Amino acid sequence: MPLFLYSQSASTDLTISPDSVFFIPGNPGVAAVVVSNNTNQPINLLQVQSENTPGYRPWGWKVFSMSVSTPHYIYPGQSIDFTIHYWTVILDKPQTGLLQDSMYVVSSVGTQYVHIFLDPSLISSVQDHSKFGFSVFPNPAMDRITIDLPVEETGQLLEVVDALGKVTMTRTLTVCKTQLDISSLPSGVYFVRLSGEKSFQVGKFMKQ
């Protein structure tokens, strides 16, 4: 399994909600996910990945419970649900930003992914280290934030995502330093996702 797969399946027959889950301080280490059939035909749910490979990442996750066992036919208008728990192991290398992984959901209409993020402040002894790091400031912020990144990382897709995984803003970065107007966003925790051809990074800020 790759470390992270950002692209979703092109199929909209099977909806995963939410398709991104975030484990952050102050929240329980569990997330509920629902898989729904939006067609007029049965869809065979073949497999839901049960956990990440032990020792593969410096943290882990697993499906704690699922309302059905696979394979299982999801009929039109029906859905199944499962919960994801995270667990931690000894951190074996420096990390920065949010740790990320993906779990796969395989069905007769294709493979889709649930993106999983973990704030490393949940793990002790996390060090700051980044080859292509970027900064978000001020933090907390009220009306505007500035995204500051290295020259070689311009041209990336920027997305601002709320704590439920909903994309609230998108932009393609063409300069190193970009200001965003966040005055219309409700107060809360937000994530800044930067994705390019060779990298994927996530930062976080608080909107007051």
Tell me the average pLDDT across 67-90.
Answer: 87
Say if residue 92's pLDDT is above 70: no
Task: Identify each DSSP E strand in 67-133 by its residue range.
Answer: 72-74, 79-88, 99-107, 110-118
Query: Distance between CA 100 and CA 121 in Å, rounded?
Result: 14
Above 70 in pLDDT, residue 130?
A: no
Residue 203 scores a pLDDT above 60: yes
pLDDT top residue among 2 and 18? 18
Lowest mean pLDDT among 23-32, 122-131, 149-158: 122-131
Q: Is the dihedral of CA 183, 184, 189, 193 positive or negative?
A: negative
| Least confident piece of the model among 16-20, 93-97, 147-151, 160-164 | 93-97
Distance separating alpha carbons of residues 16 and 12, to the nearest angstrom = 9
Q: Which residue has the tokens 């649930």?
A: 114
3-class state of residue 1 by DSSP: coil
Closest CA to 201 of 167, 158, 161: 158
Domains of the chain: 14-122 (2.60.40.10), 135-207 (2.60.40.3080)
Among 192, 98, 205, residue whose Cα is nearest residue 141: 205
- Reply yes or no on whether the pLDDT at 191 is more than 50: yes
The better pLDDT of the pair 179, 61 is held by 179
pLDDT of residue 128: 36
Q: Which residues pair with 99 in a beta bridge?
A: 118
Token pair of 43, please? 């869809």
Two tokens, residue 164: 């439920």
* Strand partners of residue 166: none
Which pLDDT score is estimated for 2? 30
Per-residue pLDDT tens digits for 21-54: 888 766 667 889 999 999 899 999 999 998 886 5
Dump pLDDT digits (tens) for 6-15.
333 334 588 9
188, β-bridge pairs: 207
